[in-house]
Amino acid sequence: MTRWLAALPLVVLGLLAVLFAGYALHHDPHVNPSALVGQPLPDLTLNALEGGGPRRLRTDATPATLVNFFASWCAPCAEEHPALMGLKAEGVRIIGVAYKDRPDNTRGMLVRLGDPFAETLVDADGRAGVDFGISGVPETFLVGPDGRILAKHTGPMTADDAETLIEKARRP
């Protein structure tokens, strides 16, 4: 009986290894859950970075609006910044949402790297991130003129990723 008790942790460990190995073999790490794609943009009110007053997160009837969750403490956010600046230069409207960041740090980042955002909102407690279902920053949502989310990009966006995202807005 004591042998079984001594072997029990090894048996449990072996069963867990089989379970996790089966999951890893059948799990595609490139799958990006996009539960909000096709859904209306969450109706949220957040404080503006400049002016500090509450602003409703919404989009105007433009061909494409991006909602980009970012933070000054996020290295991949700085990595994607040139792609966002390029989109701004092309006339794409981008709303920035500073996720769990201090306003002074956010301002410093935008002064240092440039400000690609038409408007910057503050999600200090991360509740907007929860409503959007983000898993971390950076994450970017493409919103159509009707206020529905057309696509989602997770991780740092390259210029090619940005073009692919904008192409989705141009499709009928």
- The residues near 121 (Cβ < 8 Å, ≥ 6 apart) are 46, 47, 48, 49, 55, 57, 95, 96, 97, 98, 128
Region of poorest pLDDT, from 5-9, 25-29, 42-46, 133-137: 25-29
pLDDT digits (tens, 9 = 90+) for 7-34: 777 777 777 777 766 655 654 444 445 6
In this predicted model, which residue has the larger pLDDT, 1 or 45? 45
pLDDT digits (tens, 9 = 90+) for 90-117: 889 999 999 999 999 999 999 999 999 9
Instruction: State residue 120's pLDDT score.
Output: 95
Nearest-10 crossing angle of helices 75-89, 159-170:
50
Would you state the structure tokens that stand for residue 28, as one six-digit string? 């595609």
Phi, psi of 149 (to 5 degrees): -80, 120
Q: What is the mean pLDDT of residues 79-85?
A: 95
The H-assigned helical ranges of 60-116 are 75-89, 103-113
- Say if residue 75's pLDDT is above 80: yes
Spans of all domains in the chain? 44-170
Write b or e for each residue in 7-16: b if 16 or more Cβ atoms lie within 10 A of its Cβ, otherwise e.
Answer: eeeeeeeeee
- Say if residue 74's pLDDT is above 70: yes
Residue with tokens 């996020």: 74
Q: Which of 125, 111, 145, 120 lies closest to 69 in space, CA to CA? A: 120
Instruction: State residue 64's pLDDT score.
Output: 76
Please give the torsion angle defined by the CA atoms of residues 124, 125, 129 and 133, in that order, rounded to the nearest 10 degrees: 170
Match domain 44-170 to its CATH number in 3.40.50.300, 3.30.420.40, 3.30.460.10, 3.40.30.10.
3.40.30.10
Q: What is the mean pLDDT of residues 42-56?
A: 87
What is the rounded average pLDDT for all residues in the chain? 85
Q: What is the mean pLDDT of residues 110-136?
A: 93
